[in-house]
């Protein structure tokens, strides 16, 4: 608890919180993971299981789940655009949601925004409060430091990432209106494979297109947010 107060105090002083450490002391939860077959989602699944959480996944391609996790998770099959299937999956109950869906070359406009809208509808129906989101650095927020690097990332996203950038922007706008949902997000820049080091920074520090994080550490940061209100209704940057 002391660490949380220190974090809040340092935020008040305009400093960045250093989110170091392990899942020690975390409450065991029932977690539903969207995008569980992707690079980030698979890390979320593995680390949630290691932390002792009960894990359900909502996926369109269950065969892509890691074999060693298959018999340890409850699988709900469906597309992110299918509100009925999402409602059915969430009607089974969970405490929190990790969102790691990402668009691909064949994705329709606003895939993640539409999926989030369906998820929020079901969360309201079944009284599920916590939603942990993975965004990206090209969507700037009020708290960001508008350095040349941040502006370049936004320019790059708008110019070259097309629907991926627009979808993130629309998803963030949807989150901003969801006062009744305990949402919290992380915005990684370059994400890649590599070890979980747990020495990352979360906050509204300076960043650029060179800022990086591994999938493993981003998943770790998201899982910490399952029961940590430090950044409630905010989406800080995660980077080393
Ligand atoms: N990778 C990066 O460098 C990077 C950087 C910053 C932010 N991000 C964000 O991090 C998140 C995860 O990225 P990632 O690299 O892990 O993505 P990824 O490996 O491409 O995985 C995307 C996931 O989304 C799922 N998905 C796609 N379309 C779907 C649909 N219509 N319905 C249901 N699920 C669907 C995929 O399922 P299938 O397996 O069935 O295709 C997969 O599980 C994304 O939001 C991405 O924008 C990524």
Ligand 1 within 6 A of 134 CB?
yes
Q: What is the pLDDT of residue 129?
A: 96
**Is 36 exposed, middle or buried (CB count within 10 Å of its CB: 0-12, 13-18, 19+)?**
buried
Pick the CATH number of 25-239 from 3.40.120.10, 3.40.50.300, 3.40.50.720, 1.20.120.1200: 3.40.50.720
Q: What is the model's pTM? A: 0.91
Which of 187, 232, 234 has the alpha carbon at shortest distance from 208? 187
Q: Which atom of ligand 1 is nearest to the CA of 80?
A: 32
Q: What is the pLDDT of residue 160?
A: 86
Ligand 1 within 6 A of 78 CB?
no
Ligand 1 within 6 A of 89 CB?
no
Question: How many whole angstroms from 34 Cα to the centroid of ligand 1?
Answer: 9
CA distance 10 to 206: 16
CA 202 from centre of chain: 13
Ligand 1 within 6 A of 66 CB?
no
**pLDDT 10s per residue in the chain (240 long)?**
333 333 333 333 333 333 333 455 568 999 999 999 999 999 999 999 999 999 999 999 999 999 999 999 999 999 999 999 999 999 999 999 999 999 988 899 999 999 999 999 999 999 999 999 999 989 999 999 999 999 999 999 989 888 999 999 999 999 999 999 999 999 999 999 999 999 999 999 999 999 999 999 999 999 999 999 999 999 999 999
Question: How many whole angstroms from 86 Cα to the centroid of ligand 1?
Answer: 17
Q: What is the pLDDT of residue 23?
A: 56
Ligand 1 within 6 A of 221 CB?
no
Question: How many whole angstroms from 4 Cα to the centroid of ligand 1?
Answer: 31
Q: What is the pLDDT of residue 6?
A: 34
Q: Which atom of ligand 1 is nearest to the CA of 82?
A: 32
At residue 127, the 3 state secondary structure works out as: coil
> Which run of H or E residues covers position 39?
helix 39-50
CA 21 from centre of chain: 19
* Cβ neighbours of residue 184 closer than 8 Å, sequence gap 6 or more: 130, 131, 132, 133, 225, 228, 229, 231, 232, 233, 234, 235
């Amino acid at each position: 608890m002391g660490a949380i107060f220190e974090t809040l105090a340092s935020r008040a002083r305009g400093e960045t919180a250093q989110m170091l450490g392990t899942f020690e002391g975390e409450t065991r939860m029932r977690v539903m993971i969207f995008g569980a077959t992707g690079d980030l989602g698979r890390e979320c699944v593995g680390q949630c299981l290691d932390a002792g959480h009960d894990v359900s996944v909502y996926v369109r391609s269950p065969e892509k789940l890691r074999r060693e996790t298959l018999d340890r998770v409850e699988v709900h099959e469906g597309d992110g655009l299918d509100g009925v299937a999402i409602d059915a999956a969430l009607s089974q109950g969970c405490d929190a949601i990790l969102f790691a869906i990402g668009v691909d070359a064949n994705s329709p406009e606003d895939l993640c925004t539409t999926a989030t809208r369906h998820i929020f509808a079901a969360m309201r129906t079944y009284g599920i409060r916590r939603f942990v989101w993975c965004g990206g650095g090209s969507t700037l927020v009020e708290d960001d430091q508008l350095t040349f690097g941040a502006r370049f990332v936004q320019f790059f996203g708008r110019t070259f990432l097309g629907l991926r950038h627009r979808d993130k922007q629309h998803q963030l706008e949807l989150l901003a209106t969801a006062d009744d949902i305990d949402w919290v997000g992380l915005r990684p820049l370059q994400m890649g494979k590599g070890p979980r080091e747990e020495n990352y920074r979360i906050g509204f520090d300076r960043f650029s297109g060179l800022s990086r994080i591994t999938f493993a550490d981003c998943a770790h940061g998201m899982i910490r947010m399952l029961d940590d209100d430090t950044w409630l209704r905010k989406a800080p940057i995660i980077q080393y």
